[in-house]
Structure 1
Amino acid sequence: MIPFVRELAFKYGRPDRVSPLIRRVIAQNPGPFTFTGTGAHVVGHGEVAIVDPGPDDPRQVEAILKATRGERITHIFVTHNHLDHSPAARPLAERTGAVIYSGTTYCRPSGGGDRLEAGDDLAFRPDVALSDGQTFRGPGWTVEAVATPGHTSNHYAFALLEENALFPGDCVMGWSTSVVSPPDGDMGLYMRSLERIRARRYDALFPAHGPPIRRVDSFLAAYIVHRRQREKQILLALETGGPATVRQLAARLYADTDERLHPAACHSVLAHLLDLYRRGVIDLAGEIGMRGLWRPLFMRHAA
């Protein structure tokens, strides 16, 4: 079982100190995919950086400006261009003169009837595209860009070196598992990103949604095991229940899950299926995607 962390004391618009160098301001965009809302993290004192400023909401921009009154925002780091993370970056930069940093703008947008609530911010453009290992400095703080593709192809996390802490964006969330949504999301890359984060032995994770994660290694170990178990469940469902579409598999595997999350479940199931298919573990009849009929490899020549 994943040791989720869901207890969170906060007030919208109020900056809460979560470590000596980090303050958090939560946006007013609660929902089934965002928990209480997107947490914008303020790094440092005097000259500060913002990680994931949040949605297109003037209240969030004003709350961040109020939280940093008397200081100067120099850097804005965006983990990925989803509508709950990146839209506030540009208006905040225009008000402060800060430079926006993120991964490449290219992504293959999700769509169709299973489009997720937190969709793609296709208008987002950073001022500077990141490269893995790139570092940035301010008074008393150093931030390293850590490539963590999988949730999206251009996802980056940001390490605060002075505290051996990581802002994992949506790669890791304390309150829930993360959605991996093809075609831009990739389960194989996502699993490698989780392993990479775990190998770096951070002391704390500060996700964009939910409370900080302090017991990092045990949490990530359970996070990884959960995904591997889900993979085994999908294989078992195909072997025992026969060929199935993504929606049929999701209905079997997520029968006890809030129906509002079923579209996300379909995307994660598809991501697992695509990874298994590329690894030669399962086969497919029909088109790659939600409508295809997925089946165990040994059924390739059946019927």
Structure 2
Amino acid sequence: MKNGEIQEEGVRVLRVESPPSAYMDHVQVILVGEGPFALVDAGYAERGGFVAGWAAERTRGGLEALLLTHHHPDHFGGAEALAAATGAACRAHPREIALMGERAPSLDIDALGDGDIFRAGGIELEAVLTPGHSPGHLAFWWRERGVLFGGDIVLMETSTWVGPPLGSLSAYLDSLERVRDLAPRVIYPGHGPPVVDPAGRVEALLTHRARREAQVLEALGEGLDTPEGMAGRIYRGMKEETIRIGATMIAGHLEKLIEEGRARREGECYFLTGPSGAK
């Protein structure tokens, strides 16, 4: 995938380098349409000027909307610079707008609900509520073309971060099922290459989460009672930062087990509620 070049008719993906402190080394913004245009996500605030210049050069005043998948700074941070430079209207799910307002209280953001249609020129993009990674995460479905602009719901090279307090593994698994039901031809994600076999990738992600849950249940059964302790075992030999982030994802698995009545929490510790946490 060549950076910034047309991937297919009406789709241009720009890979934007992350600031040095970020965990992932890049994020992607996606220009959709042939004019007028929509831009999916905005990148980091530190790269907002660069993305705004790139988008303005290619749309020449024809950028109608900035469609924001969710409030995380790698996807939303550059929205103020982009809106100021291009005049594009920002749109997001109401759950995310409230969170975005904490970072950018002066930015006007219009609400997009599940099933709402954004139209620009000859394109129609349907907002698809896909929570889990964040409470109001949206993917954008170009039904006519079988293209899903997926944000962070399905990534090709890694699994999506899901953890408390704003992430929900139960919701995320439901969102994966919803993506599978859409049966997209291709997914353009917020990080990494296009997902050209969406059904296969979704199945792999569901299998991965089930395997991780089994590891968490095994760890609980053997007396490990904190996410950090479990992460040290499950991610043994990996980088310290990976283990730290892994612990927050294990916390997401533990919260799911609590929702299902298979585990309980006492202070900072977790315990099984029955033999092996059986359903």
The whole-number CA distance in structure 2 between the counterparts of 1:258 and 1:126 is: 40
Matched, 1:228 2:210: yes
Residue 31 of structure 1, CA deviation: 6.8
User: Counting helix residues as a fraction of each chain, which structure ranks higher?
Assistant: 2
Asked whether the equivalents of residues 95 and 135 of structure 2 are also in contact (C-alpha less than 8 Å), the reply is: no
Flag the structure with more relative contact order, 1 or 2, with Cα contacts below 8 A and sequence separation at least 6: 1
What letter matches 2:272 in structure 1? P
Change (3 A) 1:106 1:42: closer
2:77 counterpart of 1:129: no
Q: Which amino acid aligns with 1:55?
A: Y
Matched with 2:37 is 48
* Partner SS, residue 144 of structure 1: strand
Distance 1:20 1:100 in 2: 24
User: Which digits, 9 at most, give the CA deviation of each residue in 1:116-143, with x for residues without a partner?
Assistant: xxxx883145521111000011122110
User: Which residue does the alignment assign to 1:182?
Assistant: 164
The aligned residue for residue 5 of structure 1 is none
Cα displacement (A) at 1:161: 2.0
C-alpha distance in 2, partners of 1:129/1:108? 10
Indicate the residue corresponding to 1:4 in structure 2: none
Residue 157 of structure 1 is matched in structure 2 by 139
Distance 1:170 1:32, change over 3 A: farther
Paired position in structure 2 for 1:72: 62
Q: Counterparts in 2 of 1:97-176, with a 5 A limit?
A: 97-105=87-95, 122-124=102-104, 125=107, 127-176=109-158
Identify the residue that residue 235 of structure 2 maps to in structure 1. Answer: 254
Give the superposition deviation at 1:282.
Answer: 1.3
Alpha-carbon distance in 2 for matches of 1:190, 1:18: 28
Letter in 1 for 2:85: R
Deviation at 1:52, TM superposition (A): 0.7
Residues 201-210 or 163-172, more deviating: 163-172
Q: Residues of 1 paired with 2:57 and 2:8: CA distance? A: 19
Contact 1:35 / 1:175 at 8 angstroms: preserved in 2? no
| Residue in 2 that maps onto 1:272 | 253
CA shift, 1:175, in A, is 1.3
1:84-99 aligned at under 5 Å gives the runs 84-99=74-89
SS in 1 for 2:75: coil
- Deviation readout 1:220-246 (Å, 9 max, x if unpaired): 10111100111111001111x214111
Partners of 1:251 and 1:231 in 2: CA distance? 15
- Secondary structure of the 1:212 match is coil
TM-score, normalised with respect to structure 2: 0.90
1:29 corresponds in structure 2 to 18
Aligned to 1:115: none
What is the aligned partner in structure 2 of residue 63 from structure 1? Answer: 54
Offset, 1:173: 1.1
Decide whether the 8 Å contact of 1:101 with 1:130 is kept in 2: yes
Using the size of structure 1 for normalisation, the TM-score is 0.83
Q: How many residues align?
A: 272
**What is the alpha-carbon distance in structure 1 between the residues aligned to residue 169 and residue 144 of structure 2?**
31
Distance 2:25 2:14 in 1: 11
Tell me which amino acid in the other structure corresponds to 1:16.
E
The alignment status of 1:206 with 2:188, answered yes or no, reads: yes
SS of equivalent residue, structure 1 residue 41? strand
